[in-house]
A and B are shown apart, each in its own frame.
Chain A
Amino acid sequence: MTEIENLKRTPFYDCHVAAKGRMTPFAGWIMPVQYSGVAAEHAAVRESVGLFDVSHMGEFLISGPDALANVERLTCNNVSKLKPGRVHYSAMLYPQGTFVDDLLVYCKGPEEYLLVVNAANLDKDFEWVNRHCEGDVSAVNISDSTAQLALQGPKAVALLQSVYPDLKLPTKPFRFMEAETDAGMTLISRTGYTGEDGFELYWNVRSGPGLWDILMKAGESSGIKPIGLGARDTLRFEACLSLYGNDIGDTTTPFEANLAWIVKMSKGDFIGRDALSAQLESGVEQSLVGFEMIGRGIPRHGYAISVNGRDVGHVTSGTMTPYLKKALGLGYVPAGISKAGTELGIVIRGKTAPAKIVETPFYKRGDQG
């Protein structure tokens, strides 16, 4: 077991304790899993606004004349198309086409890229990046010195604008800017992991305690809530945003995980391309699908999926979703039976409960915000 004393604390540890967050070990950090409760926090993000401490995420700065060539080879999305001020979702792949990790790639300038990776994969990822970087390029792990907050929900944009009325905030998703805030120079990115509009904010921890208290106070009238890892997971799940270690991992490829849109085969060579090219030729054997339980029962990570009494796959994520109030799951099934409407059995504590494949994402926000 991890000793509590050895866990890293984010710059907002005291804020979480003051807000009565229940603290739990996560990927070497001590993080808030919930404050007021998963359902109430989830609803706040869907209906107004929530603030997340995501400082445990990993950040690598890749810079130098050969930065672009290296990030292009390391990731599967088209980095050349990324102009300064743009960010995209992508993945690093093994030669066999499976995931090292999924990540965000920020283009800060023609010779400077920021990669944001999962906390649980940080060491593995940085080793992977270092092993494959070549030429005139430097890769620096700035994770420990980078604070990150996510402000998410339909009222997030108006809230941040009200705190900084003079800032011309990014108006479109997957755009970012860098500007002075109370935290010093801050990267303000119109991205998130909730299915809602909002921002992810990054800054150097040394440049001040940051924006937690300022945003919480400014958001009071909007009903802002601090959001723990529990609701972060249910929010991303409802929006069908993949979680590494659950829905994607080192045994699944982007094609199997419905992430073909982040793979740009035409961009030239990248690690994993040959294997994906072969898979494109042969077709995928398994496919990640969303399903809804027909009767009682809640699907959970690891449960078997069966058809006619035979195990055909497994559940990768599942819960009773707090907002849609449905028992939903994601899981891999043979590609031949992955169409919406197909009936599946979910094996829950030895009993098979009926479910049917439905369209994903389960939740898609309207045009508000």
Chain B
Amino acid sequence: MIRNDCRYTEEHEWAKKEDDGKIRGGITEYAVEQLGDIVLVELPEVGDSVSGGEPCGTIESVKAVTDLFAPVTGVVAEINELLLDEPNQVNEDPYGKGWMILVEPERTDSFERLMSAEKYEKLVREETE
């Protein structure tokens, strides 16, 4: 499932602009399918500076360890602490309860520079072919 109200990264993360301009991010359903059962999520701390496209956390499934990349450059305003105890929420609801970080972006246009849903859909299609 690819949601139209989100934008996307090549690392298979989604980003959604909140009403106050902050960017909420998580990993896409496609990423979740590739990873399998997620058993541990390490997130940055509130107040940390993160750079768009750079690692800012870790996602571990039973089999593999992968980086969580920041969707945009900015300061972490909030993290989803639920995931520290219930990492499987990412599998259950990647766009909802499985969100990962909320970032106060440095630039107001950084969200618009991310991939559109249409473009991301094409990327996933190419990867699965």
**Which A residues fall within an 8 A CB radius of B?**
33-34, 37-39, 230, 233-234, 296-298, 300, 319-320, 322, 327, 349
Residues of chain B within 8 A (CB-CB) of A33 are: 63
Q: Is the CB of A38 within 8 A of B63?
A: yes
Among A34, A233, A320, the residue within 8 A (CB) of B39 is A320
Q: Taking the nearest CB of chain A, how far is it from the CB of B90, in angstroms?
A: 13
Q: How far is the CA of A297 from the CA of B39 in the complex (A)?
A: 10
Q: Taking the nearest CB of chain B, how far is it from the CB of A239, in angstroms?
A: 16
Size of the B side of the interface (Cβ < 8 Å), in residues, is 12
**Which B residues fall within an 8 A CB radius of A?**
36-37, 39-40, 42, 58, 60-63, 65, 84
What is the chain B residue whose CB lies nearest that of A231? B62
Q: How far is the CA of A187 from the CA of B84 in the complex (A)?
A: 48
Q: Is the CB of A230 within 8 A of B36?
A: yes
Among A34, A230, A296, the residue within 8 A (CB) of B40 is A296
Q: Is the CB of B40 within 8 A of A298?
A: yes
Q: Taking the nearest CB of chain A, how far is it from the CB of B79, in angstroms?
A: 14
Q: Taking the nearest CB of chain A, how far is it from the CB of B113, in angstroms?
A: 29
Q: Is the CB of B36 within 8 A of A320?
A: no
What is the chain A residue whose CB lies nearest that of B64? A300
What is the chain B residue whose CB lies nearest that of A42? B62
Residues of chain B within 8 A (CB-CB) of A349 are: 58
Q: List 15 A-B contacts (CB under 8 A).
A: A33-B63, A37-B36, A38-B37, A39-B62, A230-B36, A230-B62, A230-B63, A233-B63, A297-B40, A298-B39, A298-B40, A300-B65, A319-B62, A320-B39, A320-B40
Q: Other CB < 8 Å A-B pairs besides A38-B37, A349-B58, 17 of them?
A: A34-B36, A38-B61, A38-B62, A38-B63, A39-B37, A230-B36, A233-B63, A234-B62, A296-B40, A296-B84, A297-B40, A298-B39, A298-B65, A319-B39, A319-B62, A320-B40, A322-B62
Residues of chain A within 8 A (CB-CB) of B65 are: 298, 300
Residues of chain A within 8 A (CB-CB) of B37 are: 37-39, 322
Q: Is the CB of B36 within 8 A of A319?
A: no
What is the chain A residue whose CB lies nearest that of B37? A39
Q: How far is the CA of A230 from the CA of B62 in the complex (A)?
A: 8
Q: Taking the nearest CB of chain A, how far is it from the CB of B15, in angstroms?
A: 24
Q: Is the CB of A319 within 8 A of B63?
A: yes
Q: How far is the CA of A33 from the CA of B62 in the complex (A)?
A: 12
Q: Taking the nearest CB of chain A, how far is it from the CB of B39, in angstroms?
A: 4
What is the chain B residue whose CB lies nearest that of A321? B62
Q: How far is the CA of A71 from the CA of B37 in the complex (A)?
A: 42
Q: How far is the CA of A300 from the CA of B40 in the complex (A)?
A: 13
Residues of chain B within 8 A (CB-CB) of A319 are: 39, 62-63
Residues of chain B within 8 A (CB-CB) of A327 are: 40
Residues of chain B within 8 A (CB-CB) of A297 are: 40
